[in-house]
Structure 1
Amino acid sequence: MRRQYKLSALLCSAVAVAAIPLAAGPAAAAEADNSCSLKHPVLGPIPVVGEVRASWNWAGPNSLTSLHLEAEDTKTDSAHPAVRLVTERRGGDIHYWSWHHNTKGSNTTDAWNTSASDTAGISRAWIQGGLFDGSNQLSTCTGTKKVNPD
């Protein structure tokens, strides 16, 4: 009986030691995605002329990795879609990142893979889409604000 107790204690200790690295290791990166539809302000009954999408991994309190941005042009017109990341810093300031323009023409999608880091922290992130005629911005759409889990 004493031997069975030792074996049980040894087995429980081994399981506990094996579980410690799993519990104490870094958390898996949380994923997020975002999208919104662009509408042309003067085309009337043709509501959607483009889509913008994004996905990323939260990589701590200050950065996003595997940031994938897309801008899809779904209508033959003189306008083109653009997408950008928007983040809210820990202090509440908003950071508007650079626009990425799809100027390839109708029925095309352009994509960009990048990352984002801000020493002031990133508490929330989302995307903004813009419909442009040349450099003139015609309309915008805004994705859902995603909260950083860190």
Structure 2
Amino acid sequence: MTVALAAVAAALLVPAIATPAAAAEDSCATTGAEGWLKFSWSGKYRIDPLKLMVEDQLGDGHHVAVRLVTNRADGTIHHWGWHHNYEGVDIMQVWNTYASDSAGITKAEIQVARMEGSTIMNLCNSGKIANPNW
């Protein structure tokens, strides 16, 4: 009977220890641009894999861009670099990447912008997605 109870206890503990990374996704749209992110939390300090996508939705001669924005454990905000789409209207560009920050990542979101050169014409933010590892 003790062996049977130990086997049941072991069966219950394994799923609790071997939980998969938490997947998340969100999007936002602003005039002329729509963007998406899909990712998995890989602990307190890393998002991997991370997929960023942006589409130009207005044939106005301006380009669109997407970037990751994360909150750190100390409360500061990290604005990651812009990924620009110069391909034109109705063309989606996708970047498969990751994010790692030794200061921790407690929340993640994207910003999507319609741009003229490096000037932001209009912008949206997706919802902030909390890291369940914190």
TM-aligned CA distance change 1:69 to 1:117, over 3 Å: same
* Counterpart among 31, 41, 44 of residue 61 in structure 1: 44
Secondary structure, aligned partner of 1:87: strand
Structure 2 gaps of 5+ residues are none
Paired residues, number? 133
* Counterpart among 66, 79, 96 of residue 83 in structure 1: 66
- Following superposition, which runs of at least 4 residues in structure 1 exceed 6 angstroms of deviation? none
Q: Which amino acid aligns with 2:20?
A: A
Q: Name 1:33's counterpart in structure 2.
A: 25
| Kept in 2: contact 1:80–1:132 (CA 8 A) | yes
Q: Which amino acid aligns with 1:29?
A: A
Secondary structure, aligned partner of 1:22: helix
Answer yes or no: is 1:15 the counterpart of 2:15. no
Q: Name 2:78's counterpart in structure 1.
A: 95
Q: Which has the larger radius of gyration?
A: 1
Q: Distance in 2 between the 1:33 and 1:118 partners? A: 19
Identity of aligned residues (%): 40
Structure 1 gaps of 5+ residues are 1-5, 40-48
TM-score by length of 1: 0.82
Q: Distance in 1 between the 2:116 and 2:10 partners? A: 62
